[in-house]
Amino acid sequence: MTPMRKTFLVAAALLAGVCCANGAVVINVDKNSQRMTVEVDGVPRYEWAVSTGRAGYGTPNGTYQPERLERTWFSKEYYDSPMPYSIFFSRGYAIHGSYEN
């Protein structure tokens, strides 16, 4: 399993409550630094680089709750590109893994 796939699997499991059933999980995406952090009960646990989308498709600002998780998904906006371990949070936007390096 690639490191990217593993980290997104961890994030998806955290949000699904698999790892931390009683813990508060917060994911922060910093669009300026292109970094994503995951905190559990206020303690930083994970951090990695992200890409927040091309012009017109950028990640929206705000605070969101996850709406659904999809282990396998394909983008309708980007030519059926794979979006493994998607965490959908608002109007079709999702945090997801990638097979690109």
pTM for the full predicted model: 0.69
The residue segments making up the domain with residue 75 are 3-51+64-95
For the chain, the average pLDDT equals 80
Q: Is residue 101 part of a domain?
A: no
In the chain, how many domains are there?
1
pLDDT digit string (tens) for 27-63?
Answer: 899 999 999 999 999 999 999 898 887 788 778 888 8
Question: Does residue 58 belong to any structural domain of this protein?
Answer: no
The CA-atom distances, in angstroms, between 67 and each of 5, 11, 94 are: 21, 14, 9
What pLDDT is stored for residue 9 in this prediction? 52
Residue 19 lies in a domain: yes
Rounded CA-CA distance 31/50 in Å is 8
Most confident of 11-15, 75-79, 84-88: 84-88
